[in-house]
Amino acid sequence: MPISTSLDWGRRACSQGWRWDSSPRSQRQKLSTAFKLNFWPSGGMKITMNLRFCLLFMASLSLGGCWEAPWFCHGHECPVYTVVNTNEGFEERRYDASQWITTDIPSTRDKDIQDGFWKLYYFMQGKNKEGKEIAMTRPVVVSVSEAVESGGRHVSISFFISANIVLPEPNDDIIKKKDLPAATVYVR
């Protein structure tokens, strides 16, 4: 079975409510019950095929196949992360690599943030060279960093973009694509 087909089956099982629990024995029982009857013919190859499928199914889960967006994404797609530690007052999260669109703004004043937001929003609504609409996601991030060259601050606003989206060219060259590597983030 090709890997892409196996990963698709694994994601379909996740969407049908199959979840891991902490017991390896129960995981094997769930996989065996869920897939042996539906996908594999009986016969001499069943054990080999079930083992191969179990391994590929576990791989699909590690690739984010069963990740569900948290409540604060309000039904929108948002960056995939794993909670590494829960501490008093904050969480340590490991975020997967992600893509964003971003534009620089002059300051953190409300008007500047709103102007930057609307530039990115209209880009996603089809005001780009291809006229392509892109579904809204969460979060919208305002970043403030020290500008080493000028000694001032650099401010930008960014929208998360789903990994499966190929971004169209913007009409305005102040809108940029930004690829962020996987990173550990501390969140209150």
* Per-residue pLDDT tens digits for 46-93: 333 444 443 334 444 444 456 788 888 888 889 999 999 999 999 999
Please give the pLDDT value at position 104.
95
Q: Looking at residues 19-37, what average pLDDT do you find?
A: 38
Q: How many other CB atoms are found less than 10 A from the CB of residue 103?
A: 19
Please give the pLDDT value at position 48.
37
- Going through 28-97 in order, the beta strands assigned E by DSSP cover 81-87, 90-95
Rounded CA gap, 79 and 158, in Å?
Answer: 13
Domains of the chain, with CATH numbers?
Answer: 3-62 (no CATH), 94-187 (3.20.80.10)
- Tell me how far the alpha carbon of residue 174 is from its chain's centroid: 25
pLDDT at 128 over 90: yes
Please give the pLDDT value at position 50.
41
Rounded CA gap, 185 and 95, in Å?
Answer: 7
Instruction: Please report, for residues 36, 42, 72, 87, 88, the alpha-carbon distance to residue 139 in angstroms, rounded to integers and kept in the order given.
Output: 40, 48, 9, 23, 24
pLDDT at 109 over 90: yes
The per-residue pLDDT of the chain, averaged, comes to 74
Instruction: Please report, for residues 19, 114, 176, the alpha-carbon distance to residue 104 in angstroms, rounded to integers and kept in the order given.
Output: 42, 12, 9
In this prediction the pTM is 0.61
Please give the pLDDT value at position 65.
52
